[in-house]
């Protein structure tokens, strides 16, 4: 089921709507055309109750003022680009510096700030936007489509599609903070990642360029174990079949599988959440290209050229024991 309502005005007077997608099983997703935000995600449990599994604000103005990218669609480039610059085909591009000297999640002009056009396609929500050449420093007029739909009664799918008229870099993701049992922080959740390696970072949380093995380290989530501590790291996913990540609520009543066609996934445990949220109140599982890939040739390439189509899908599948 698809339903749309006016949500509110942003500080710059732009208006934002909320679109509710309800699955046949009664799972519900509230999504805004502002920032492609997943504001609410409620899942029915086996005992008939419903559980809110993402963090969110009440108003669009709070999202506009926030600094944690809560629930937002991220682009053109998720994660960090060192010194807010990269070179492509011999041309250097300077980006917005919104995290010290670095570019984070597309900068101040990232697509999390956009009010998308939107339309209904069956029971799916389709967001569209044309990012003009040079927006935030990124090259190319980029036509973006983000599609949200219930793939089955308990699986929310997000597909990303983009085309460009100039060589550019693209890396879109969804920045929801999940907590499958809000009586607890996410430190008591258990997690498994389909990753044999991770990308170590320096003091600025930028990758060193190495892909290190997780074996014998605190980054080894190949078998299910508690989250337990701070992480803000990219994991290199293997080609083995199965979910990229599986997260289990501390009370065991809800499980989430994240599937993706991307080479990496960022685990961020909400270590710096504050104000409206508590520290470690939610964690992100951001499917992605590796951070700073435009500057590290050894990493999988995020380059998209004219005539090519950027296409990616991430699914969030919920199940009850």
Instruction: Supply φ then ψ for residue 136, to 5 degrees.
Output: 65, 5
Retrieve residue 127's tokens: 């967001």
Retrieve residue 177's tokens: 């903070």
Known active-site residue 163: no
Retrieve residue 140's tokens: 């190319």
Cis peptide before 76 (omega within 30 of 0): yes
Name the nearest CA neighbour of 103 among 137, 153, 60.
Answer: 137
Catalytic residue among 112, 163, 286, 289: 286
Catalytic residue among 112, 175, 189, 289: 175
Rounded CA separation 109/124 (Å)? 26
Known active-site residue 210: no
Residue found by looking up tokens 């089955």 in the block: 152
Number of residues that make up the chain:
321
**HEC assignment per residue over the chain:** CEEEEEEEECCCCCEEEEEEEECCCCCEEEEECECCCEEEEEEECCCCCEEECECCCCCHHHHHHCCCCCCEEECCECCEEHHHEEEECCEEEECCCCECCEEECCCCCCHHHCECEEEEECCEEEEEEEECCCHHHCCCCEEEEEEEEEEECCEEEEEEEEEECCCEECECEEECCECCCCCCCHHHCEEEECEEEEECECCCCCECCCCEECCCCCCCCCCCEECCCCCEEEEEECCCCCCCEEEECCCCCCEEEEEECCCEEEEECCCCCCCCCCCCCCEEEEEECCCCHHHCCCCCCCEECCCCCEEEEEEEEEECC
* Residue numbers annotated as active site: 175, 286
């Amino acid at each position: 089921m698809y339903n749309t309502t006016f949500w509110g005005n942003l500080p710059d007077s732009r208006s934002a709507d909320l679109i509710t997608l309800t699955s046949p099983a009664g799972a519900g997703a509230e999504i805004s055309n502002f920032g492609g935000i997943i504001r609410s995600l409620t899942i029915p449990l086996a005992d008939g109750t419903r559980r809110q599994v993402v963090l969110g604000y009440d108003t669009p103005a709070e999202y506009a003022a926030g600094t944690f990218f809560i629930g937002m669609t991220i682009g053109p480039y998720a994660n960090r680009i060192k010194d807010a610059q990269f070179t492509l085909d011999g041309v250097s591009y300077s980006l917005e510096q919104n995290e010290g000297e670095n570019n984070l999640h597309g900068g101040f002009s990232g697509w999390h700030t956009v009010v998308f056009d939107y339309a209904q396609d069956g029971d799916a929500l389709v967001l569209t936007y044309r990012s003009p050449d040079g927006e935030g420093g990124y090259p190319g007029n980029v036509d973006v489509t983000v599609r949200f739909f219930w793939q089955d009664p308990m699986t929310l799918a997000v597909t990303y599609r983009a085309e460009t008229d100039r060589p550019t870099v693209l890396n879109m993701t969804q920045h929801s903070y999940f907590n499958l049992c809000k009586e607890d922080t996410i430190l008591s959740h258990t997690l498994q990642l389909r990753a044999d390696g991770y990308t170590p970072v320096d003091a600025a949380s930028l990758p060193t360029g190495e892909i290190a093995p997780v074996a014998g380290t605190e980054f080894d989530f190949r078998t299910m174990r508690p989250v337990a501590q701070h992480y803000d790291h990219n994991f290199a996913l293997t080609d083995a079949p199965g979910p990229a990540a599986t997260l289990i609520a501390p009370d065991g009543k809800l499980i989430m599988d994240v599937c993706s066609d991307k080479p990496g996934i960022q685990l961020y445990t909400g270590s710096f959440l504050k104000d409206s949220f508590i520290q470690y109140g939610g964690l992100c599982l951001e499917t992605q290209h590796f951070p700073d890939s435009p500057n590290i040739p050894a990493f999988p390439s995020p380059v998209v050229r004219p005539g090519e189509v950027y296409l990616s899908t991430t699914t969030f599948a919920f199940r009850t024991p």
